[in-house]
Structure 1
């Protein structure tokens, strides 16, 4: 079957399984396309595919099908360095087939200009598009996200916002805005597909699929991608959590330790004790590391100069930024940029 044909149930994967749940009146097979870009995140891609496969297995019917494509029809190496085979090229895919773009940390140039042109053309024909992990960034490059609600992985959001200051991703795990579906990757890709299954076959069936995935049955997408800062630092100390939140909110113009202590209504000495007790380091060290992490993200995901990145992360000069960066990561900012 040509990928440009309108797919039927023929070719859909229906694995055998020990457990089944009958669907009395299945809809025509719903097909999706998945475009794999170089160094795509394998976890996010497989997390989107498997709920569809499990739905078919439970129903023992071709509820869903998928075509996996690459820009040139060749296998694509994931960010894990594992190559994944595909069914054909992006140019082979029907203009009516919903298409999810799958990418990873190198989203800035993962898609070629020709691919962007094909995506724009498909959009003009009314095709539905989505982004998995950082796939929304390619849709942004194609000009498809203006005025839309969307998301991408939290790690890549700072660099994305620097590149597209007029666009603002949400912090949610996945988003649906009309014909646009996006998610942050990982288990959020599963949740996004479970939401589709819910619309097609009801919540009870979707929860069965979630159970087979050993996934949380919460099918809403409005949960944040990141766990709370309190969980991240293994602490329920509200003053510590509040100070760390202030650090993340004030990266370009860092607050002084006195200002941070005042925000938590504690003395500087108390602040130092909290950080030593729960994090094993000084608040100044934690703050510097937060700013360096932001700088590393901007180095990998944007073309901003070292001077600009140093200023954006609150360092007094590129020299100070570079010295502290090398101390933390074992290489200079130039080395990180060269190796991206």
Structure 2
């Protein structure tokens, strides 16, 4: 096992036997998820497919929460054929539509052991929901916040449930601008909007763990790595900067950290942290202070900011309730 490095808080950074090149299948190879139930959002493409496939192969009962039911059904059929296990369930979920989120959550019965908040958009053109929410903030954070809070009772019933939040090193582009999350007073910038939404993902993990740890629920965030998927449809197939070819991952490698956080015994009882390449990454105070695609900005782990975001999210959802 890799050595442990001191974190800024004084706690040791969690290190695992896995790393950059590990795949989701390798991470979950020795883990039995029989009897566990999992939901993966955005599981009709990219790393969501690989995440769902790995969980299913380990024995979990998986639900693919997707906007496109036809695409979800195709993926579910492929997973069932590939793993030789039961075919995952498919349910519609539009994270930008509070009514859709409510319908999905309200239809869930029984415990939920793993929730992977995987769906997302990146650097999309300026767009707003009918409630006036900026599209990336609404998709990447607010919809997932609504989903998790509505599923809280099911997660608590799971006993030791885990929420996994797919963030990005793009969070280093911007903190959450609390006074203007919807770009009402500043010119819209697709990368600042993306960065803000990805910071919100990490802050959610911090506050959800604080609030729900007593229910046995822990939440961690992660950077999956640079992977060419449909996520880059608005950026010409590129991220916010040029990524060296040697740092590009396959979707199976990109899903590894998500699956690790969802299943590894090394993460039992651990929450409110941020991982990259299957290991907890260091806290930084400026961009470039960590290796490429690593590092978590201190503002993304700030407990006061996390609590403030939770309150803001509740307020926005209450105002935009159908």
Q: TM-score, normalised by structure 1?
A: 0.33
Q: TM-score, normalised by structure 2?
A: 0.35
Structure with max Cα Rg = 1
